Amino acid sequence: MLLQEIYKRAIETVLKNKKEEIKNRIDLINRGEVPEGYKKVHGYIIPNDWNIVPIKKIARQVKRSVEKPSESYYRLSVRSHAKGTFHSFVENPETVAMEELFQVKENDLIVNITFAWEHAIAIVKKEDNNLLVSHRFPTYEFNSNASVKFYENIIKLPKIKKMLSDMSPGGAGRNRVLNQTDFYNSLYIPYTNFKEQEKIAKILNCCDEVIELKQKLLEEKNKEKKWLVKNLIQPKTILNCNDKTYKEYEFEDVIIKLPTKKYQINTTEYLTIGKYPVVDQGKNKIIAYCNNSEKLYKCPINGIIVFGDHTREIKYIDFDFVIGADGTQILSVQNGISVKYIYYYLLNQRIPNTGYNRHYKFLKNILFMIPSQEKQKHVVQILSKIDNHIEYLEQELKQYKQLKKSLSQLLLTGIVRTMEADCEN
């Protein structure tokens, strides 16, 4: 059975014949009221047969002390915003002040005390096994009554971030260090029997597998696009070697720089103008393709190209209003040349990082090799089809991630019970 079907069936099983009951329960909890069969403990509203326990009830701190290696090694660190772990290479151990390091094992719970306030907490993955950390990364081993996969999802809850922040007193950044005693004794998390933990983890794991599948499909489609852009645009590739219609053009023979005007608007207004951000959201300043009447122009029917002079990001835009951050260049092309073809042509250019707001000057040095209008149209049709598929996958991935987030909130605190749920074939 396809993962999407497993995912869908698991959710439908959970909700089967209980939609109205669950909706009423959620409404009550959102109002801070306690539904029948539930209780309020340490700020959580949970089923009567659940508990809220500190970390020390489900895990114990471990210190697998080792001497600092004499040769280069990989160390483990934790990303902020509960986004997992990452590796960094230590080429010269002499640059590390600590003489004592600590080894981590797969399925350990690990927290970065320096950035705990920014939700830097994670579960050690298989590929992290035996890597080294400093004393700034206290490590905990789960007891047999705790499902690692269940608590891997629990630690991502917004409530956990709030508690970690509260346990990290002081100013901003490195001045806010996690109080490890508070963390171990007072980081309160939901607890239910191991069987239900595993059931919830299994459903959420189905979600993760679907999301991973969609991400891989998206990565493959982007690789396909990159290959096609390169081989359809460059005249000397095997796909174009027999095409004699290519002609060379100077930058000014192709590109038209459109007039722009700066606007100062507040964030609320910014989020209601057309479909954007285009290149960079910025804060309050935007660049708008506009006329002298202070109104935003609508895009030409064949679209325009937006280039971020600072970010080097290139976008093709064909919707109503065009806005971007300060430093945005808004471009069109001469008659007889496809705007979208030039967009793909620019994507195929390597734009070096020459410093702040100097990248547009590099664009002006580009020589364009452009084929016949018929060939341009053919290339655009092929690449637009790929773009449409990529956009579809991106939207689908976004929907699955949102669904996983919503389902996690419901399952991990027992708002929705899973005793009848099953995501097996």
Gap between the Cα atoms of 384 and 386, Å rounded: 5
Q: What is the CATH number of the domain that holds 123?
A: 3.90.220.20
Whether 153 and 253 share a structural domain: no
Q: Under 8 Å CB-to-CB from 140, ≥6 apart: which residues?
A: 55, 59, 60, 61, 62, 108, 109, 110
Whether 148 and 253 share a structural domain: no
Q: Where in the sequence is the domain holding 63, given as residue range(s)?
A: 56-191
Asked whether residue 118 is assigned to any structural domain, the reply reads yes
> What is the residue-wise DSSP string for 273-296?
SSS--SS---SSEEEEEB-TTSSB
What pLDDT does residue 409 have? 86
Asked whether residue 166 is assigned to any structural domain, the reply reads yes
Domain boundary residue, one of 370, 399, 415 = 370
Asked whether residue 41 is assigned to any structural domain, the reply reads no
What pLDDT does residue 366 have? 87
Domain count, the chain: 2
What pLDDT does residue 17 have? 53
Whether 67 and 148 share a structural domain: yes
Whether 179 and 265 share a structural domain: no
Whether 61 and 179 share a structural domain: yes
Query: What are the tokens at 232?
Result: 């359809």
Asked whether residue 120 is assigned to any structural domain, the reply reads yes
What pLDDT does residue 5 have? 57
Contact 153, 121 (CB under 8 A): no
pLDDT tens per residue across all 425 residues of the chain: 455 555 555 555 555 556 777 788 888 988 889 999 999 999 899 999 999 999 999 999 999 999 999 999 999 999 999 999 999 999 998 888 888 999 999 999 999 999 999 999 999 999 999 999 999 999 999 999 999 999 999 999 999 999 999 999 876 656 789 999 999 999 999 999 999 999 999 989 988 999 999 999 999 999 999 999 989 998 888 777 777 888 999 998 999 887 766 555 444 443 333 344 333 344 434 444 443 334 444 555 677 887 876 667 788 877 555 555 556 777 889 888 999 999 999 988 887 766 555 667 778 888 899 999 999 999 999 999 999 999 999 999 998 898 888 888 889 999 888 754 444 43
Q: What is the CATH number of the domain that holds 314?
A: 3.90.220
| Secondary structure letter of residue 107 according to DSSP | T
Could you tell me the pTM of the whole model?
0.74
Contact 327, 287 (CB under 8 A): yes
Domain boundary residue, one of 146, 173, 191 = 191
Asked whether residue 85 is assigned to any structural domain, the reply reads yes
Asked whether residue 9 is assigned to any structural domain, the reply reads no
What pLDDT does residue 403 have? 85
Asked whether residue 416 is assigned to any structural domain, the reply reads no
